[in-house]
Amino acid sequence: MSTETADQSSERLLNEAVQRFRFESFDANGEDVEDYLERFEIQLNVVGLATPADPTQDTDDRKKAKRRTLLLANVGKETHAKLKDVFRPEALTTKTYDQLLTALKTMYKRKVNLLVERKSFMLRYRKEGETLHEFARELRRLSADCQFGDRLDERLRDQFVIGINQLKWQEELMSHFTTNDARFLAVFQAAELLESASKDAQRLERLVRGETSGSLRKINSAPEGRTREPQGASAASRLPDRKRSGQSGPRQQFQLDRARQCARCGLERHPSPEVCAAKKAECAQCHNIGHFARCCLKTGRAIDITRKPTYGKQYTKLRVLNDNDHNSDVDDHCHEFNQMSTEYNSSQADDKEYEDEVDAHNTAFVISNRCFGREEW
């Protein structure tokens, strides 16, 4: 039975590491060369071939050769061709791994203009729909080549507050952090709380709207014969409503009882008017803001059955009949009057008191011409 020497075992392990190594080609248009080489070193570390942090400890020539081979094999054909041009007429296999790294950084290093980089940083504002984490990460990325030095944290903090693009959050941060001692991390964490509270409030509003909409669908989908009328509903509340455009058939008026129902949406009264889904809704009937069309009193879509009656004498439109009016006309007018209202009349002699009481909602009633001439009218 043959035994494996230490050198043979080490070589076998290196070969297995090379076989496990997988990495993509370098794209100069899609990634910075420094980022690519950093990721390459991380992958080398995964398979046990990473470059030691201390150069004096990098003494294994076989590992150095494997790193060079893996870099040339994975860098891509276009980058490989450019490296060959750099070292011609010498072969790339004669160069060390560090020499290849230096050549790549020299070829693809991005040229930086300090003023342009700082201007880009100062003009960066949070975009619509962008989270605070994404905005802060972009600011850090843009600050990489600005050479802010010791003032980096201060510049990040200032641009974060200035570019947060949310007035209420900005006011809160400016009122809380009033000195230059504030750190960027503290400002960012405070802004995160504001963002989280705003999202929770929006979610709560959606839940309330969904609950209200579901209740409205149940009411609208209930059979007419099973619809419960509020207490105190009068016959006038069942008069047909105006027809919708493009629809046929009369619509019943919605009976609104303010003692039990919300005057905006028609559902049960809310603990607070702020949670009503109809507070900011546009009425499809009168186009005013603040109520649903089913509760529109202005256009007659709804009728308020809780309105208190007006006390005191109410004098309504009078229909004066002359003595020479035809009897049939009088009969017609009296018949019309009897259908529209009820009244209690007490007429006495000319020199005695005359009293007349009518319903405040009546539109007409009939009296004689003799009575109409009295001064009390």
In this predicted structure, which of 5-19, 206-220, 267-281, 309-323 has the lowest mean pLDDT?
309-323
What number is the average pLDDT over the span 26-43? Answer: 89
All structural domains of the chain with their residue ranges: 11-108, 114-200, 234-308, 318-372
- Residue 60: per-residue pLDDT: 75
The answer, yes or no, to whether residue 331 has pLDDT greater than 70, is: no
What number is the average pLDDT over the span 306-320? Answer: 51
Report how far residue 366's alpha carbon sits from residue 81's, in angstroms, rounded to the nearest whole number.
110
pLDDT in tens, 106-148: 888 888 889 999 999 999 999 999 999 999 999 999 998 899 9
Residues recorded for the chain: 377
- Residue 342: per-residue pLDDT: 38
Report how far residue 297's alpha carbon sits from residue 294's, in angstroms, rounded to the nearest whole number.
9
Do the beta carbons of residue 71 and residue 97 sit within 8 Å? yes
Chain mean pLDDT for the chain: 76
What number is the average pLDDT over the span 81-98? Answer: 90
Q: Where are the beta strands (DSSP E) in the chain?
A: 240-241, 251-252, 254-256, 302-304, 318-321, 343-346, 355-358, 365-368
Q: Is the dihedral of CA 214, 216, 219, 221 positive or negative?
A: negative
The answer, yes or no, to whether residue 344 has pLDDT greater than 50, is: no
Q: What are the Cα distances from residue 101, in Å, to 22, 24, 25? A: 19, 16, 15
- Residue 162: per-residue pLDDT: 95
Please compute, for residue 20, the number of CA atoms within 13 A of its CA located in the half-sphere on the CB side: 13
Report how far residue 263's alpha carbon sits from residue 273's, in angstroms, rounded to the nearest whole number.
10
